[in-house]
């Protein structure tokens, strides 16, 4: 597969996708989105791939949606294209993926990192929703996902002032799962990805769906969804293997069935 704006490689069962528009600090134009959709689809479709890492450069995860591409677009064009709607194809990825964020994660960059199942930040990461300074508001989920992650007051602070949040504040606010030294970012992300990749694959997808249900439903239906997922996994060979392996004091061997 050849891509214009991203680099993709596999390391065993882990797919590493790197945003690669250094001249624009990885600003997210429609080509980046098109490339990411193909890459995440290919990742989902490959039975040997179990977890993905999305990252950028040391200076920028992504500095936002591409302002130069949006500059001339008016309401009719944006509405007609339903601009940004296709990012749901990225969030539709079924297998788990991690955002490993270094440098700027601003606007759409912060929003893309928040689409990940887990976010790890380097100590130089800077997050922000500066769209207000451009006369707009977040368009790829910032007002929704940031608010769910950090709560109303801090989300309002970020969206209304457009200020940046450093990695320490992001971790304290639960925006990311951990902060690591920049030099360790990819090793730490890979360690986590390999741990996830070693899990029974159907259970990994079911766990991801169950946690995501907490964002989509009320508690009653979320709990019901979780119980039914648990019940359903009991029909898999991996469940039989996992419980047998525990009882027999040996590691499980997964089939993804
Ligand atoms: N879109 C297009 N180009 C961008 C960009 C963006 N979001 N961010 C940076 N670039 C380009 C710059 O124009 C510059 O290109 P040229 O060399 O051709 O001029 C290049 O990347 C390097 O950027 P800077 O010279 O500005 O680098 P810096 O180190 O001085 O500053 C920065 C870095 C603070 C991140 C600054 O680039 C910046 O503020 N970028 C814009 C951030 C922003 O507003 N993001 C939100 C975009 S709107 C959005 O994302 C909507 C949404 O919700 C989806």
Whether 134 is in the pocket of ligand 1, judged by its Cβ within 6 Å, is: yes
- 24: DSSP letter: G
Q: What is the pLDDT of residue 13?
A: 98
What length does the chain have?
A: 257
Q: What residues act catalytically? A: 65, 108, 111, 131
Closest CA to 143 of 118, 114, 168: 114
CA angle 152, 158, 160 (to 5 degrees): 90
Burial letters for 199-217: b for 16+ Cβ neighbours within 10 Å, e otherwise? bbbbbbbbbbebeebeeee
Residue nearest to atom 30 of ligand 1 (CA): 25
Cα 209 from Cα 43, distance rounded (Å): 17
Q: Residue 6: count other Cβ atoms within 10 Å of its Cβ.
A: 20
- Cβ-contact 40, 90 below 8 angstroms: yes
Given a cut of 90, whether residue 108 has pLDDT beyond it is: yes
Given a cut of 90, whether residue 82 has pLDDT beyond it is: yes
Query: Rounded to 5 degrees, what are φ and ψ at 250?
Result: -145, 160
pLDDT digits (tens, 9 = 90+) for 160-212: 999 999 999 999 999 999 999 999 999 999 999 999 999 999 999 999 999 99
pLDDT digits (tens, 9 = 90+) for 219-256: 999 999 999 999 999 999 999 999 999 999 999 999 99
Q: What is the pLDDT of residue 208?
A: 98
Structure tokens at 196: 């996830």
pLDDT band at residue 23 using 50, 70 and 90 as cut-offs:
very high
**Which ranges constitute the DSSP H helices of the chain?**
30-45, 67-70, 75-81, 87-91, 108-115, 147-150, 152-161, 167-172, 185-197, 201-216, 219-233, 237-247
For residue 192, the CA-to-ligand 1 centroid distance in Å is 30
Cα 125 from Cα 41, distance rounded (Å): 28
Whether 87 is in the pocket of ligand 1, judged by its Cβ within 6 Å, is: no
- Please identify, by atom number, the ligand 1 atom nearest to the C-alpha of residue 84: 54
Whether 132 is in the pocket of ligand 1, judged by its Cβ within 6 Å, is: no
Structure tokens at 45: 């479709």
Structure tokens at 88: 């749901």
Average pLDDT, the chain: 98
Whether 24 is in the pocket of ligand 1, judged by its Cβ within 6 Å, is: yes
pLDDT digits (tens, 9 = 90+) for 36-65: 999 999 999 999 999 999 999 999 999 999
- Cβ-contact 38, 222 below 8 angstroms: no
Task: Point out which residues pair with 11 in neighbouring strands.
Answer: 14
| Average pLDDT rounded to a whole number, residues 73-90 | 98
Percent with pLDDT over 70 in the chain: 100
For residue 63, the CA-to-ligand 1 centroid distance in Å is 5
Q: What is the pLDDT of residue 1?
A: 78
């Amino acid at each position: 597969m050849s891509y214009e704006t991203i680099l993709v490689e596999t390391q065993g069962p882990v797919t590493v996708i790197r945003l690669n528009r250094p001249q624009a600090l990885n600003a997210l134009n429609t080509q980046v989105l098109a490339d990411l959709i193909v890459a995440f689809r290919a990742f989902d479709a490959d039975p040997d791939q179990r977890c993905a890492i999305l990252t950028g450069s040391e200076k920028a995860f992504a500095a936002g949606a591409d302002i130069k591409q949006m500059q001339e677009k008016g309401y009719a064009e944006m509405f007609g294209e339903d601009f940004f709607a296709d990012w749901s194809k990225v969030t539709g990825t079924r297998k788990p993926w991690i955002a490993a964020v270094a440098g700027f994660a601003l606007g759409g960059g912060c929003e893309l990192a928040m689409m990940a199942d887990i976010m790890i930040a380097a100590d130089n990461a800077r997050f922000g929703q500066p769209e207000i300074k451009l006369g707009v508001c977040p368009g790829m989920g910032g007002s929704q996902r940031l608010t769910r992650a950090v709560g109303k007051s801090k989300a309002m602070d970020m969206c209304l002032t457009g200020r940046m949040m450093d990695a320490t504040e992001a971790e304290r606010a639960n925006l990311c799962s951990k902060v690591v030294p920049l030099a360790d970012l990819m090793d730490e992300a890979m360690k986590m990805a390999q741990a996830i990749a070693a899990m029974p694959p159907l259970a990994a997808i079911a766990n991801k769906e169950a946690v995501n249900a907490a964002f989509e439903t009320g508690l009653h239906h979320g709990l019901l969804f979780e119980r039914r997922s648990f019940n359903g996994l009991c029909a898999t060979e991996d469940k039989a293997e996992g419980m047998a392996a525990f009882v027999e004091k040996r590691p499980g061997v997964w089939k993804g069935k």
